[in-house]
Chain A
């Protein structure tokens, strides 16, 4: 007899499951600044001629070992006080803000005005608007299917620029930690935007301390208000940024007087720690391969016979035995679509019935 195929009853021999896998993604500040070169010329930071964003890698990006971990950019709404024809890259900063807003939130009103980011869960009430923001756009490599709700945390330095080492931040001043502490799988998020759910980033892990950003879970984007570096919050007056030429810039001076990449450099140098858990959704189909007692007891393996006699039998009435190591899943045309292996040979004879569960992940 040729190879035996056993037909699966697709109503009773098949089930599907959904499993969420999570990975912890820690990003320390010295990866994104300081490790691979001095301030302004890090080899793991790629800036582009268009100047609209910069890409951050975990290793010098010219190396094949480098992984893209996130893109960084900033922008402001056209109604922001920062918006001025004299501002450096004014149009591009507005364009970046608008692009993120229209993709993540959408439009409002009969004129289809682009929404403005708000540091709350209701972007339609025009409260707590964030008109000047930094965008941290994480690579799909890290985010996988989505950021796990309630796991996002980012710590930013609020210290002044230290003298001496280029780009160093004075460590004596406390940092700010933003986290989506009120978000969970069961609530604390908004899903009315255009890009899935988002949660609010609260300062110091306590909602009462104020909200300064949003995290879009499925899109893998964090939106952080620039005002977190303003004097009213952290006391930064003169030196949010320090240009490679050594000129100290306040927050407003930097937002208007430095390019997008210059502001991204400043933000990146203030990034101390960043962490989240990603989520991967695995959908599985489990096939219950039921092996009846009276089937699959012989083999067409060339070693199964010696001089035509079945090796496992001395006489015809002996019990046939076979040893299975592999399960093949076939379509109706007998095409082998998937295989599964046992860890050790499994004995099969007419006294045994087996149910082998074969899981196929998608």
Chain B
């Protein structure tokens, strides 16, 4: 009889993060909990139907090389492992809605423009490349184009019914009633989020869609615990009751989700006030220079712009799902 293999003893050396070093220097370094991450893993490599046998289903995943520990940012735990009931088959996704009223639409480059001021918004609308307000947000505006997101099951395998919303989302604790929005506080000084009297449905008494996402200013809560150097604000969501209603507005005319929706939210961003000068105001904020470019002729129409590209992360507070959006802040420079 052979001996058991006991070489699986796992001892790992931990590396302090930047924040850990700061906490240690301040004398309040106290570890109380742990979490697990799997950022390196690409689950699309999981082959449920491996022809060579079940031993090959995760062979590629298990051969994934692992990075050494990072000390900055999220240190390789951007998403993390989670706990759910064993009989879950679907998890919600966060998708951008680009079809409902006033929803911002990505340009062909996958960007959403943010105009620094009304002068810039006018110039963007007048450009041949954008020409429509749906292609850009205007800094701090409570009305007009906004970034609309939905959280729900994005699969045609599950019918879009209110009952399924309960079965697949509410009953599983995955109904995102709030979203955490992480962004660079150098670029954005504020955030507008959904008001509670917003509506996102297509099954009102007349069978018509009723989508009206309203915005209000939302405070920044503080530093993001998940993304170093970013701040976090929380926005509320409203019920997403867009369903397939016989005789009503087709769901696909309103919702970006293919299955039952959970919630919807909208947001807009306020650029750092120092970055919103009009072209004649003279001074250009150093943030444009340090993090972006200045004086760029974006559309070949002779107008030049200061531009800066940044990433915003939106995380469902119940589902833990994250969606990132690339925003391009622009200011007309001449």
Chain A residues within CB distance 8 Å of chain B: 1-8, 10, 286-287, 289, 291, 294-348, 350, 354-361
CB-defined contacts of B157 to chain A, threshold 8 Å: 307, 309
Binds A, one of B25-33, B138-146, B195-203, B275-283: B25-33
The stretch among B85-93, B286-294, B297-305 that forms the contact with chain A is B85-93
Chain A hits for B35, CB < 8 A: 3-6, 327-328, 330
Q: What is the bound-complex CA distance between A329 and B23, given in angstroms?
A: 13
From A4, A300, A335, A355, residue with most partner B Cβ within 10 Å: A300
Does more than half of chain B's interface fall in helix, strand or loop, or is it mixed? loop
Which residues in A have their C-beta under 8 angstroms from that of B154? Answer: 307-308
> How many whole Å from B82's CB to the nearest CB in chain A?
4
Task: Assess whether A310 is in contact with B89, with CB atoms less than 8 Å apart.
Answer: yes
- Write the residues of chain B forming the contact surface with A, with a CB cutoff of 8 angstroms: 9-17, 19-20, 23, 28-44, 46, 48, 58, 61-64, 66-71, 74-77, 79-84, 86-93, 153-158, 173-174, 225, 258-259, 315-322
Kindly provide the distance from the CB of B311 to the nearest chain A CB, expressed in whole angstroms: 14
List 8 extra interface pairs beyond A301-B79, A359-B12, CB under 8 A.
A297-B83, A308-B155, A328-B34, A331-B30, A336-B225, A341-B76, A350-B86, A355-B10
B43 and A303: CB pair below 8 A? yes
A329 touches B34 (CB 8 A): yes
Contact assessment for B38 and A331 in the assembled complex, using a CB-CB cutoff below 8 Å: no
Roughly how many angstroms separate A195 CA and B55 CA in the complex, as a whole number? 63
**Cβ B41 vs Cβ A325 within 8 A:** yes
Residues of B within 8 A of A340 (CB): 12-15, 69
| Docked CA distance A350–B239 (Å) | 33
Is the pair B155, A341 in contact by a Cβ cutoff of 8 Å? no
Give me the 8 closest cross-chain CB pairs, A-B, nearest first. Answer: A3-B80, A2-B320, A337-B20, A326-B37, A340-B12, A300-B320, A316-B89, A340-B14
Asked whether, in the complex, the Cβ of A308 is within 8 Å of the Cβ of B153, the reply is: yes
Indicate which residue in B34, B48, B67, B82 contacts A2 across the interface (CB closer than 8 Å). Answer: B82
Give Cα A336 to B35, complex, Å: 9
Chain A hits for B42, CB < 8 A: 303
Is A339's CB under 8 angstroms from B17's CB? yes
- Are B82 and A296 touching (Cβ within 8 A)? yes
Contact residues in A for B30 (Cβ distance below 8 Å): 331-332
Q: Do B36 and A1 have beta carbons less than 8 Å apart?
A: no
B residues near A298, Cβ cutoff 8 Å:
81-84, 88, 91
A311 lies within 8 A of B46 (CB):
yes
